[in-house]
Every structure is written in structure tokens, then in C-alpha cells.
């Protein structure tokens, strides 16, 4: 749960960072048109037989156009304009289709009553552009009053309109009759329509196309899809984790089933013995009392050697506390099975109490018992237990001498506590 909370907090922080970045950075895509990068030129009606005159000066990164428009001429539409060439030909231009505004900082003074300027963003396209005819470039135009000293005015590109006379004169189809800024070779700033005479000064301080690196709707969709993918990924991860748990549970159930089968088989082998531990199937103390008396008598008569291993599961209380008593009971049953499969048929495994067990070895001296105890200890440490965690045991070894059974068991118990005191998972022999 804590990992889920950390991941969620991390995703929220990343989302906020993206939103802040978008607010301050993603909408600052700009393209600046300046005299040092492109060619600025003055044009007037004198080239068409008119009497107007104009001059241009580039100073401090600004373009100054002065113009005198004269109406007494054979040309019926006197004008003057500033032409900005963005390319060296009419075919290749600059793509401004990803921009949504043009910011114009123009200071305009005139003696004429009409204080407006025309702005044309000319677009080239193979469907209508002829390399030898400048008027074939599409006229995306707008007319507006720039004022003087008013600073930059941002004009949305979707407010530009294609001039109707250009559509009619060039026989433009409907699909090419709408504004298009995908290939712009020329920008024009001209005196207003209907101007017949007067003095004009146009100062172009800056021209800047503005846009966003990513549309807000696209960014929000991206965040939404990212959240959905993360949620789906989390669900799939949880399903996979649940599947692993179920698989482990099935393995554990199969192991316990096999364990029960083996214990049942072991119970059959010792069916002649009446008393067994009900939990593990191991013998209990009562079951071996008479047999121990006989073994003690054989030792006193010198007929054979007899040894015992006192075994205790290390940290078994921690297992119960962490995994519950049900798992603890399963481990006790599995512990009995592991030991039972590694002792001889004439050896006796007895549950002495709790997690303590004693293995009685007839015909075995102390040295042999130590060797077999070490084998059992290593086997238990290497076994893969049902709770998927390592498990160890400590063992005390004693060979019976001229003493009672209870005294031999007490010596084995004392050796067991020495093994625990030395760090557990050890075998200690009583001297």
C-alpha cells in the first residue's frame, strides 16, 4: 500500500510539473521576422504608371517606410507598401501552419483620414502559384489600425480572409479558397484600400508569429491516456501478483497434501505403536517409555551403544507470530516429515514438547550420532519450507553411559542450550 501511495504521489507531482511547464513554456513558440534575416523592400504604384513615391531605411533592427501617395495619374489604385521576402523565389516559403497568431508592433502616421493598414500573408501552392506571376500567390489579408506607440497587437491568423477578387481572377476551387499559411514566401504591409493621396510613415518595430508547441487539448489527452495506461498497468500488475499468490497457495496446498500422504504412510509403518502426537504424527513420550527402559537395560549390560539427539527449531516463536499458528503447525508437520525421511527404520523420532524433538539412535555411539546430527542440521537448513523462508535448528547430542535415561536426556538438553547460546544452527555434543 505504501508503494502505491508513493507512486500515486509521484504521478501527481509529474502531472503538476507538466501543467506548470505548459502554462509558462509550451505556449511560447515564436518565429521572428527581422531585417537582418530577411529582405525588406519598398514598393509603390510608380511601377504601374502611378505617381506615388516611397523610400525605406533599415536602422537599429527596424524598418522605416516613408511614402507619398499621389492620385493624379492613370493608375486608379495608388498605394505604397513594405514587402518582406522570406524566400528567394515564389515557390518555396516558410510553414506557419503551426502558429495561431501574428504579433505586429507597427507605428503608423499619416495625413489621411484612414488610419488603417493592410497586412497580406501571401501563400504559395502548386495548385495556383505561377513562378512568373507574383499576383498568383494567395492573398491572406486583414486590415487594421496599428496606431502609434501602442505596442504590439496580436492578431489571430484565423481572422485573415482570402481576397475575393483573387479567388475570382484566378478561378480558385473551393478547396483552395480558405486561408492557408503552410508555405509563405512574402509578407506585405500596405496603405489601406481607398487611400488616394497623402503622406505616410510606417515604422515596423517587430513582426512575430506566435504559437504553441503542443495544443492544450492534445496535452490533456496525453495526460489522460497516460493516467489510463498507468491505471491499467497497475490493475494488470495486481492481477499478476494475485496470480502468483494463488500459484504459491496451490503449490503449498499440493505440498501439504503430499506431506499428509507421507505422514499417513509413516503412521501406517508405526501402526503398532498406540501413542502418537496428534498434530505431527510423531511418537509421543508415552509411546517410547517401555522401549527406553529396555534400551537402558541393554546399555547397562554392555550389549549396545545408545545415543539421542535433542532438536529444537530456531526462532519458531517468530514464525508463529509472523505467519500465524496454522502455518506454524504446517511447519511442525513438515519438520517431522523431513527428519523421518532421513533416519533409519529402527530409529525413533519423538515430539518432546512444542517445537522440541528427540531422535533416539540405537546401536549408535556419540561420534556416529554427531555425524548424523550434522547431516540432519544441514538438511533442515537447505530444505525449501512451506512458508517460503529458510528454517534452521539447534541440536544437542548425548551418548548414554552409566546413568538413567532421564539423565542422558538432560545432558542432551544442556548441549542443545549450548548450541543455541553459540548462535543457533549448530550441533553440540555433551561430554
Smallest CA-to-CA distance from 367 within 424, 429, 295, 300 is with: 429
Q: What's the pLDDT band for 266 if we cut at 50, 70, 90?
A: low
Give the model's pLDDT for residue 63. 94
Digit-coded pLDDT (tens) for 381-417: 999 998 899 999 999 999 999 899 999 999 999 999 9
CA distance 18 to 130: 46
Q: What are phi and psi of 73, to 5 degrees?
A: -160, 175
pLDDT band at 222 (very low <50, low <70, confident <90, very high): confident
Residue 142 has pLDDT above 90, yes or no: yes
Mean pLDDT of 285-296: 90
pLDDT digits (tens, 9 = 90+) for 15-56: 777 666 666 655 578 899 999 999 999 998 888 888 888 999
At 260 the pLDDT is 77
Q: What is the rounded average pLDDT of the residues 178-194? A: 93
64 has pLDDT over 80? yes
Res. 5 pLDDT band, cuts 50 70 90: low
Rg over CA atoms, the chain: 49
Average pLDDT of span 72-93 = 87
Task: Render pLDDT for 206-221 as a digit per residue (tens, 0 to 9).
Answer: 999 998 777 666 667 7
Q: The cell 502468483 sits on which residue? A: 244
User: What number is the average pLDDT over the span 243-268?
Assistant: 79
- Whole-number pLDDT of residue 245: 86
Give the residue-averaged pLDDT of 341-360.
94
Listed by start position, the domains of the chain span: 29-211, 270-429
> Given pLDDT bands bounded at 50, 70 and 90, which one contains residue 101?
very high
270-429 to CATH, choices 3.40.50.450, 1.10.150.120, 3.30.70.270, 3.40.720.10: 3.30.70.270
Predicted confidence (pLDDT) at residue 295 exceeds the cutoff of 80:
yes
Share of the chain above pLDDT 90, in %: 60
Measured CA to CA, the distance from residue 143 to residue 115 in angstroms comes to: 10
| Residue whose C-alpha is closest to residue 31's, from 70, 86, 107 | 86
Q: Which residue blocks in 62-197 are alpha helix, DSSP H?
A: 164-170
pLDDT, position 230: 78
Assessment of whether the complete model's pTM goes beyond 0.85? no
Please name every residue paired with 56 in a beta bridge, in sequence order, or none if there are none: 65
Q: Quote the mean pLDDT of the chain.
A: 88
User: Is residue 272's pLDDT more than 60?
Assistant: no
Segment 371-382 mean pLDDT: 96
- Nearest CA to 204 out of 44, 65, 37, 31 is that of 65
Q: 138 pLDDT exceeds 70?
A: yes
pLDDT reported for residue 24:
61
The reported pLDDT for the residue numbered 369 is 95
User: pLDDT confidence of 239, banded at 50, 70, 90?
Assistant: confident
**Phi-psi label, residue 336: left if phi above 0, alpha if psi -120 to 50, beta otherwise:** alpha
Of the pLDDT bands very low, low, confident and very high (cuts 50, 70, 90), residue 1 is low
Q: Per-residue pLDDT tens for 159-185?
A: 999 999 999 999 999 999 999 999 999
Task: Please state the CATH superfamily assignment of the domain spanning residues 29-211 in this structure.
Answer: Galactose-binding lectin (2.60.120.430)
CA–CA distances in Å: residue 186 to residues 98, 213, 385: 17, 24, 81
Q: 161, 138 in Cβ contact below 8 A?
A: no
Amino acid at each position: 500500500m505504501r508503494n502505491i501511495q508513493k507512486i500515486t504521489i509521484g504521478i501527481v507531482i509529474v502531472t503538476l510539473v507538466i501543467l506548470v511547464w505548459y502554462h509558462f513554456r509550451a505556449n511560447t513558440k515564436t518565429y521572428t521576422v527581422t531585417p537582418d534575416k530577411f529582405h525588406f523592400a519598398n514598393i509603390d504604384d510608380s511601377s504601374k504608371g502611378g505617381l506615388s513615391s516611397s523610400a525605406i531605411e533599415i536602422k537599429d533592427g527596424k524598418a522605416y517606410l516613408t511614402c507619398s501617395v499621389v492620385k493624379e495619374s492613370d493608375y486608379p489604385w495608388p498605394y505604397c507598401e513594405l514587402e518582406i521576402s522570406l524566400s528567394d523565389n515564389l515557390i518555396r516559403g516558410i510553414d506557419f501552419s503551426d502558429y495561431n497568431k501574428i504579433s505586429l508592433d507597427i507605428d503608423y502616421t499619416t495625413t489621411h483620414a484612414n488610419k488603417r493598414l493592410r497586412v497580406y500573408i501571401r501563400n504559395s501552392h502548386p495548385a495556383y502559384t505561377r513562378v512568373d506571376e507574383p499576383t498568383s500567390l494567395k492573398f491572406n489579408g486583414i486590415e487594421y489600425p496599428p496606431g502609434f506607440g501602442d505596442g504590439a497587437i496580436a492578431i489571430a491568423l484565423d481572422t485573415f480572409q482570402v481576397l475575393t477578387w483573387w479567388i475570382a481572377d484566378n478561378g480558385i476551387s473551393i478547396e483552395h479558397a480558405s486561408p492557408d499559411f503552410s508555405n509563405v514566401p512574402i509578407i506585405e504591409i500596405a496603405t489601406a484600400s481607398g487611400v488616394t493621396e497623402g503622406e505616410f510613415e510606417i515604422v515596423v518595430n517587430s513582426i512575430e508569429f506566435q504559437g504553441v508547441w503542443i495544443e492544450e487539448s492534445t496535452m490533456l489527452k496525453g495526460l489522460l491516456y497516460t493516467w489510463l495506461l498507468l491505471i491499467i498497468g497497475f490493475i494488470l500488475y495486481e492481477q499478476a501478483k494475485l496470480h502468483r499468490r494463488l500459484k504459491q497457495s496451490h503449490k503449498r496446498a499440493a505440498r501439504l497434501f503430499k506431506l499428509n500422504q507421507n505422514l499417513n504412510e509413516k503412521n501406517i509403518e508405526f501402526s503398532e505403536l498406540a501413542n502418537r502426537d496428534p498434530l505431527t504424527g510423531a511418537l509421543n513420550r508415552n509411546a517410547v517409555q517401555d522401549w527406553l527402559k529396555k534400551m537402558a537395560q541393554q546399555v547397562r549390560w554392555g550389549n549396545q551403544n545408545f545415543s539421542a539427539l535433542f532438536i529444537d527449531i530456531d526462532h519458531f516463536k517468530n514464525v508463529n507470530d509472523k505467519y500465524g499458528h496454522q502455518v506454524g503447525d504446517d511447519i511442525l508437520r513438515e519438520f517431522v516429515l523431513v527428519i523421518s525421511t532421513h533416519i533409519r527404520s529402527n530409529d525413533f523420532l519423538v515430539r518432546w514438547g512444542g517445537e522440541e524433538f528427540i531422535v533416539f539412535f540405537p546401536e549408535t555411539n556419540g561420534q556416529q550420532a554427531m555425524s548424523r546430527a550434522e547431516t540432519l542440521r544441514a538438511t533442515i537448513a537447505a530444505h525449501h519450507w512451506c512458508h517460503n523462508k529458510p528454517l534452521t535448528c539447534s541440536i544437542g547430542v548425548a551418548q548414554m553411559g552409566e546413568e538413567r535415561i532421564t539423565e542422558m536426556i538432560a545432558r542432551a538438553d544442556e548441549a542443545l542450550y549450548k548450541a543455541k547460546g553459540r548462535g543457533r544452527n549448530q550441533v553440540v555434543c555433551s561430554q
